[in-house]
Amino acid sequence: MKRAIFVTATGTGVGKTFVSLRLLELFASRGYCVGAVKPLETGVQDIPRDAQKLLNLCKRHNDAFATLEPADLCAYTFPLPAAPFCADSAGVIEEDAIFAKIEEMASRCEILLIEGAGGPLVPITKTLYMIDIPKVTGAHTLLVTPSRLGCINETLCAMEVLESRAVEYEWCINIHEDADSFDRVSRPFFDSHFPGWIESGGGLERFADKILESS
């Protein structure tokens, strides 16, 4: 799956959907037929909200998504806001169904965004973790990290996890939380150790270029 991007983060509420939407708009503006899938979404009471946001954008740029409903972008949804393994109290998750859903959405587009749930080591089943999705699909991985106090440690820990599992990745910082203090509290470290790091608001073009060049 050459033109697929798996978007993960250091944890929940960091900005995966925000970055996924920006990437979809970016690829669409370059003339590509875009699509998205949210294989697992928890905390769903009626409509899977992340999937709804992704679908609304896809419908504006790809007629193949026009008749779909938000739930069609998900293999599984659960009401409990927890890791899928914990939210799946009835044990209904089948790993093959997750990858079949990804393949189904990929068949409708030229570039597919796969949005994960939580961070790389969020458990899906007893043996499957979020980090396994790009390993199985071959999707490019983008790690989204926060700008809040403590983001240096969060970012380095997530990087170490990805590298220990031999997952190639790019990463970006979503400048949102603690934005007013980020330049003093966290930016000096990132500038020193990762010159040219990507900021989600204005640097994703470089990541998009790399995806298109490698496809």
Which ranges constitute the DSSP H helices of the chain? 16-29, 49-61, 84-87, 95-106, 132-137, 151-164, 179-185, 187-193, 204-214
Q: How far apart are CA 150 and CA 140, in angstroms?
A: 26
Print pLDDT tens along the chain (215 aa): 669 999 999 999 999 999 999 999 999 999 999 999 999 999 999 999 999 999 999 999 999 999 999 999 999 999 999 999 999 999 999 999 999 999 999 999 999 999 999 999 999 999 999 999 999 999 999 999 999 999 999 999 999 999 999 999 999 999 999 999 999 999 999 999 999 999 998 789 989 988 888 86
CA angle 18-24-27, nearest 5°?
A: 140
Q: Among residues 2, 16, 38, 126, which one is catalytic?
A: 38
Residue 53 known to be catalytic: no
Measured distance CA(18)–CA(144) in Å, rounded? 10
Which pTM value belongs to this model?
A: 0.96
Domains, the chain, ordered by start:
4-214 (3.40.50.300)
Tokens 């509290």 — which residue?
A: 185
